[in-house]
Amino acid sequence: MMKCRCMLVTLVMLGMGSALLPEPTQAVEIGNFEFNGYVRHYMGFNLDDVPETSGDDKYEMSMNRLTLLGQLRGNLGPATLTAIGRVSREQITDYLSDLEDLAVASGGEGNFDDEYNEAEIRELYLDIPIGERVKLRLGKQQVVWGETDFFQALDVVHGYDQTWRSFLEPENEEWRKPLILVNTEIDVPELKGSLQLLWRPGFDDEEDIGNSYDMFGGRWSQNGSRGFDLNADKGFFPSLPIDYHHPEGDTDDSHYGARWSGTLGENDGLAYSLNYYHTQAQNPVLFPTGSAPFGLAFIYPEIDIYGGSLSGYIPLIDSVYRFEAAFIPNNPFNDNFGGLIKKDTLRAMIGLDTNLRLQNIFGTSSPSMFTLQVFDTYINNYEAAEMITNAFGTTEDEHTAWVSSIFTLPYKMDTITVQSVTVNDISNGGGVFAPSVEFHFGPSWRVKCEADLFYGGTKSDTPGGASLFGSYDNNSQFLTRVTYQF
């Protein structure tokens, strides 16, 4: 039963806490502060020929990216200060240069340096204890509410930046967009739980709200649009800007919500949470506005999200099950003619994490981890004749379901990890298969090699109309990632 409690504590921490760096190998002490971080180099290569360009792009380098991240943490009186900064620089490879030329020819800017390079304070916050029960975190931070991989049900506090590696980067904290928040957590041991209160005052940059996608014609733009600048405020569609300050969704307005997390049952064997959050949709919709020449703009509309999660241990199969669901009343969609339709929407996930003792079969050094997850989005009162679409022109189904799995094989005292990741679109077909191997060299060096192999799905030769994985047709990649942790 002790194993059960330890696994559940891990799950609760994942659901409640802010994302942190891996444990430092040897933090540098600077006065009352400790400094650690990493240097990381990405190299990506095309495994397909991209039809939008005139040359043969197969095996061309698509990404040459260098990232430096540093974390400073220390005490300021009774409070603790945490600061995390990140700088990334990319070489514009020959392949990217070809895409830039196409973007310019389409009327866009074709300047990928502006899109891929960054220098930012990722997080900057103070942890302030108030008495024995209350913890206050003030500042720019990340709050993780969900436990899903690849798709988000309850992890709705932040948007994600999918411009430089889409949804394939394994650490969510790398592409989640931090926000300025007042984060209060109140322990209630009498009820075996805690109450978390969140308030976003609205001080963030407007681009920090919602998901960001490759709309500028880069390596992760949709099939049929690579090399074409679809940015709403410039280039191909200057008549369809992003209106960040529309009355239906103003990024200056505050977001707020609450989460109760607790345990139930014998030896606290059942972990659960109840959530509410008033925010803006992670994905934009087209909406009437007087600020655009043709009366339409992309907006991130305000929504309310009600949800909860449940997790527990199954001793018979030595596994942890996870369930979470999020209900969004009057969730806005577009129809195929640019109109607006509001439908109650339910997003749900059920997952299973289990240890497999395969040492005698595969010669591994420790048990293997297998994770299976089913994710579904259900639109209530769905009518096919309404032709409900998302902002990118893809038609939505009544049910859109995905199945993902992660399987690991650890070798040589866990210093070599072979992993396979699969994500399959049950509703529209297609998916991605991502085998990888990661090497640990001492406490500091990590080297990972990965292939991202897309297959199937509904395809389209023009932007929009393709399913999720059909939009990545002809975009399989090979990646190497070298990390030095300090």
Q: How far apart, in whole angstroms, are the C-alpha atoms of residue 39 and residue 67?
A: 6
* pLDDT at residue 291 in the model: 63
DSSP H or E stretch at residue 310: strand 302-314
Stretch 38-43: mean pLDDT: 98
3-class DSSP state of 344: strand
Residue 459: what residue type? K
> Which comes out higher in pLDDT, residue 390 or 70?
70
- 223 vs 220: CA distance, rounded Å: 9
Instruction: Please give the helix or strand (H or E) that residue 435 lies within, else none.
Output: strand 431-441
**Domain count for the chain:** 1
Over residues 206-213, the mean pLDDT reads: 94
Is the pLDDT reported for residue 2 higher than 50? no
Assess whether pLDDT exceeds 60 at residue 232. Answer: no
Hey, which bits of 357-430 come out as E strands? 368-379, 388-389, 399-411, 416-425
Give CA–CA dist 120/86, Å, rounded. 6
Query: For residue 363, is pLDDT > 80?
Result: yes
Instruction: Enter the tokens of residue 476.
Output: 């399989």
CA distance 437 to 223: 28
Residue 262 confidence (pLDDT) above 80: yes
Where residue 459 sits, what CATH number does that domain have? 2.40.160.10
Q: Is the pTM of this model over 0.85?
A: yes
DSSP lists the bridge partners of residue 35 as 28, 72
Q: Which domain holds residue 301?
A: 2-485
pLDDT exceeds 80 at position 24: no
Alpha helices in 144-283 (DSSP H): 172-175
Stretch 472-482: mean pLDDT, rounded? 94
Instruction: Report pLDDT digits (tens) over 161-185.
Output: 999 999 899 899 999 999 999 999 9
Rounded distance between C-alpha atoms, residue 395 and residue 237, angstroms: 21
Q: How far is CA 206 from the centre of its chain?
A: 18
Q: What is the pLDDT of residue 309?
A: 96
DSSP state of 412: T
pLDDT at residue 18 above 50? no
pLDDT at 160 over 60: yes
Instruction: Give the strand pairing for 368-379 and 388-389.
Output: unpaired
Q: What is the dihedral of CA 168, 435, 41, 472, to 10 degrees?
A: -40
**Average pLDDT, whole number, for the chain?**
89
Tell me what percent of the chain is helix, strand and coil, each rounded to the nearest 5.
Answer: 10, 50, 40
| Least confident span in 10-14, 50-54, 223-227 | 10-14
